[in-house]
Amino acid sequence: MAQMVARCVGRAHLAPARELSLQDGPTELQEAGSSGRSRGSSKAVFQVLWEQGDQAVVVCDDAGRVRNANPVARQLLQLGGDHWRGSPLNDWLVLPEAAAHTETDFWRHVPDGDYGVRAAAATEGETGNTAAPTVSLRVCMGRHGSRPVPVILLGQPRDAVRLQQTVERLASYDSLTGLHNRDHFRHELARAMERARRSSKPMALFFLDLDRFKLINDSLGHGAGDQLLQKVAQLLTACLRGSDAVLVGPRTAAATLSRLGGDEFTIILEDVGGVDDAAIVARRLLEALSQPLDFMGEEIQVSTSIGISLYPMHDVDLDGMIRHADMAMYRSKALGRNTYSFFSDDLNAAVKVRLSLEGSLRRALERQEFQLFYQPKANLKSRHVTGCEALIRWHCPGRGMVPPDRFISVLEDTGLIVQAGAWVIREACAQMARWDALGLPPFSVAVNLSARQLRQAHLVALVRDSLEQAGIAPNRLELELTESLLMEDTEGNRAVLAAFAQLGVRLAIDDFGTGHSSLSYLRRLDVDTLKMDRSFVMQLPENPEDAAIATAVVALGKSLDIHVVAEGVETEAQARFLTGLGCHEMQGWLLCKALPADALTPWLQEQHNQFLRQQRPSGFQGLEVTELVDLDLSGMVKARP
């Protein structure tokens, strides 16, 4: 109501469309030139504006002295008591100079605009807040008898309104993409669930997570990552037709798109028929995102993994809906990404198992339930042992011995890998020292590193300290990294790897051939060893494709002067074929399975004794096994007297 009145009387001082007639307030209000019928209603409207509206109204005389002010204005200008009556408005508002000194037509010198409040400014100043509040001011003309009387309407300053709108926008929207943000998403989801409950029409929540977005962010930088997120937001918006309606079969459903942060997006799809409708939309989203994208002058392809929960079938609780969609999204990731999955009860069961696994692993670290097994490696030609790989095992009470494939990813996801990995490094170094003390030749031990460990602060210091404490030369420790880990070619990774090279620790690329390798980083990173993945060894020598790959890997190693180790060698035929290619070393069940240190020690001692027997009477026992392996001893034997 107040706004309606303000609209009809506003801006009158420039081109007065109509005049109000009044005395000291609303009581004498008359509309000049209007009929008796309209006079009464106009007065009534002004009465409401004066007493109940949220508009501040001040009535002045022609010289700008305050005659009356309604309750809102009195509060706004802090007009206490009665002494303000008859005082110039300039005492309360910072008005233009000319308006303060005029005796007539005061209103002509006060253009519409924002003005500072004096009383409030003083109070704010005392509290140390220097930003004086302002109010927007509009003058409209009333009259008292035949005299024109300015009526001042005060309100929130336009800038403040704009500021408030911006603040509200920021509070609800994601500044990068302009989509709803997490808070607003939750608010919208609660409302959508409530609408679904009342209308008994199901609602779907889609949880989207871009595939391998981290790789882009890490390799191309956060600026590029942000640009990609904006592109994805545009694609999704276009796919959902302006983000408020999407056609599901013959029907239209409301869709609300939000970005929760990072590369996580959500879509609330209301009034879906059920699973089939949601699946149609999911497929359309996957298709839209998988189109080649023009990005920074290059064509790239993004994909996303989608999880879907349905209301009320999967949950009736807001956090439950989000959690279930998130769980379904993880299933899509596990299924190989670029796909969608619905929440299901077995997923719930799987998550319960996973949560219990997490809890057990935390306890495992405290109770030291981990153990290292060691699997030897040998020179392919001579079959002499060159070193071991340390492989973690977990003796879980109630579960028996758990292989690493079952728990490494959980350790990584929970961050526990940092603690567990530190233990592996220290223990492997300590074991080398124990074998040294038994008189075994000083062979090397390889340790597997996870991506998360590489980002761990002080990793290099940890490795250095572990080596120093055990008294082990750095070149006897080899760190096995996977290709995908090295592809995260971040500055941080490069610095850590350079520090390892400086320390003298050896670097191996594990499971080589299964990830995306680039020849340039093999060179740049000073890699010492390539471990050819077991999958290429398994069907040697019969499978021609595997034979071609094995040949290429060995040739690559030779040309880059990198040692090649074949993993998972189980048969003599495989070993012979690899020896023929010129592959340097093998690891696998043909030689020995992974064993605990105390079980492996007699085997290592026996291997060493065999080696010594073979060398007798050369008498070069003092040499390192690795040196002997590649040494042509014939000349030296001949040289003996």
User: Is 164 or 589 the residue whose CB approaches ligand C2E more closely?
Assistant: 589
**CA atoms of 506 and 21, how far apart (whole Å):** 94
What is the distance, to the nearest Å, from the Cα of residue 591 to the centroid of all Cα atoms in its chain?
45
**CA atoms of 294 and 231, how far apart (whole Å):** 9
Starting at the edge strand that comes first in sequence, how are the strands of the sheet with 304-311 ordered? 255-261, 264-269, 203-210, 304-311, 340-342
User: Is 267 or 392 the residue whose CB approaches ligand C2E more closely?
Assistant: 392
Give the contact letters, 283-312, x = binds to ligand C2E (CB under 6 A), - = no.
------------------------------
User: Is 209 or 480 the residue whose CB approaches ligand C2E more closely?
Assistant: 480
Q: At what angle do helices 275-290 and 222-239 cross, to 10 degrees?
A: 130
25 is a contact residue toward ligand C2E (CB under 6 A):
no
User: Is 510 or 585 the residue whose CB approaches ligand C2E more closely?
Assistant: 510
53 is a contact residue toward ligand C2E (CB under 6 A):
no
Contact residue for Mg ion among 209, 315, 478, 511 (CB under 5 A) = 511
Q: Contact at 8 Å (CB) between 581 and 550? A: yes
**CA atoms of 330 and 340, how far apart (whole Å):** 10
Question: What is the size of the binding site for Mg ion (CB under 5 A)?
Answer: 5
**CA atoms of 507 and 479, how far apart (whole Å):** 5
Q: Which helix (H) or strand (E) holds 114?
A: strand 113-116
Q: What is the DSSP letter of 254?
A: -
**CA atoms of 54 and 359, how far apart (whole Å):** 58
Give the contact letters, 433-452, x = binds to Mg ion (CB under 5 A), - = no.
---------------x----
Q: Smallest distance, Å, CB 567 to ligand C2E?
A: 6
Give the contact letters, 546-575, x = binds to Mg ion (CB under 5 A), - = no.
---------------------x--------
**CA atoms of 193 and 312, how far apart (whole Å):** 8
474 is a contact residue toward ligand C2E (CB under 6 A):
no
Q: Smallest distance, Å, CB 390 to Mg ion?
A: 9
Query: Which residues share a beta bridge with 155?
Result: 136
Q: Smallest distance, Å, CB 511 to ligand C2E?
A: 5
**CA atoms of 204 and 182, how far apart (whole Å):** 17
Q: Contact at 8 Å (CB) between 301 and 290? A: yes
User: Is 277 or 567 the residue whose CB approaches ligand C2E more closely?
Assistant: 567
DSSP labels, 43-96 = HHHHHHHHHTSSSEEEEE-TTSBEEEE-HHHHHHHT--SSTTTTSBGGGTB---
User: Is 232 or 481 the residue whose CB approaches Mg ion more closely?
Assistant: 481
**CA atoms of 178 and 105, how far apart (whole Å):** 49
478 is a contact residue toward Mg ion (CB under 5 A):
no
589 is a contact residue toward ligand C2E (CB under 6 A):
yes
Contact residue for Mg ion among 270, 271, 483, 510 (CB under 5 A) = 510
User: Is 156 or 456 the residue whose CB approaches ligand C2E more closely?
Assistant: 456
The binder of 568, among Mg ion, ligand C2E, none, by C-beta within 5 to 8 A per type, is ligand C2E
**CA atoms of 331 and 339, how far apart (whole Å):** 9
Query: Which residues share a beta bridge with 379?
Result: 585
Q: Smallest distance, Å, CB 570 to ligand C2E?
A: 4
594 is a contact residue toward ligand C2E (CB under 6 A):
yes
Give the contact letters, 352-381, x = binds to ligand C2E (CB under 6 A), - = no.
-----------------------x------
The binder of 594, among ligand C2E, Mg ion, none, by C-beta within 5 to 8 A per type, is ligand C2E
Of 179-187, 280-288, 463-471, 565-573, the window that binds ligand C2E (rule: CB under 6 A) is 565-573
Of 182-190, 551-559, 588-596, 621-629, the window that binds ligand C2E (rule: CB under 6 A) is 588-596
Q: What is the DSSP letter of 29?
A: -
DSSP labels, 588-632 = STTT---EEHHHHHHHHHHHHHHHHHHHTTS--TTS-HHHHHT--
**CA atoms of 393 and 408, how far apart (whole Å):** 10
Buried b / exposed e along 486-514 (16+ C-beta atoms within 10 A): bbbebeebeebbeebeeeebbbbbbbbbe
The binder of 375, among Mg ion, ligand C2E, none, by C-beta within 5 to 8 A per type, is ligand C2E
**CA atoms of 426 and 418, how far apart (whole Å):** 12
Residue bearing tokens 């594990």: 510
Contact residue for Mg ion among 480, 483, 546, 585 (CB under 5 A) = 480
DSSP labels, 326-370 = HHHHHHHHHTTSS-EEE--HHHHHHHHHHHHHHHHHHHHHHHT-E
Q: Smallest distance, Å, CB 228 to Mg ion?
A: 32
Contact residue for ligand C2E among 196, 228, 361, 391 (CB under 6 A) = 391
277 is a contact residue toward Mg ion (CB under 5 A):
no
User: Is 102 or 579 the residue whose CB approaches ligand C2E more closely?
Assistant: 579
User: Is 262 or 403 the residue whose CB approaches ligand C2E more closely?
Assistant: 403
What is the distance, to the nearest Å, from the Cα of residue 181 to the centroid of all Cα atoms in its chain?
14
568 is a contact residue toward ligand C2E (CB under 6 A):
yes
Q: Smallest distance, Å, CB 595 to Mg ion?
A: 16
The binder of 403, among ligand C2E, Mg ion, none, by C-beta within 5 to 8 A per type, is ligand C2E
Q: Where are the beta strands (DSSP E) in 514-610?
A: 529-532, 563-566, 585-587, 595-596
Of 47-55, 222-230, 331-339, 397-405, the window that binds ligand C2E (rule: CB under 6 A) is 397-405
Give the contact letters, 407-446, x = binds to ligand C2E (CB under 6 A), - = no.
-x------------x--x----------------------
Residues lying near Mg ion in the complex (CB under 5 A): 448, 480, 510-511, 567
Q: Enumerate binding residues for ligand C2E (CB under 6 A).
A: 375, 391-392, 403-405, 408, 421, 424, 448-450, 480, 510-511, 534, 567-568, 570, 587-589, 594
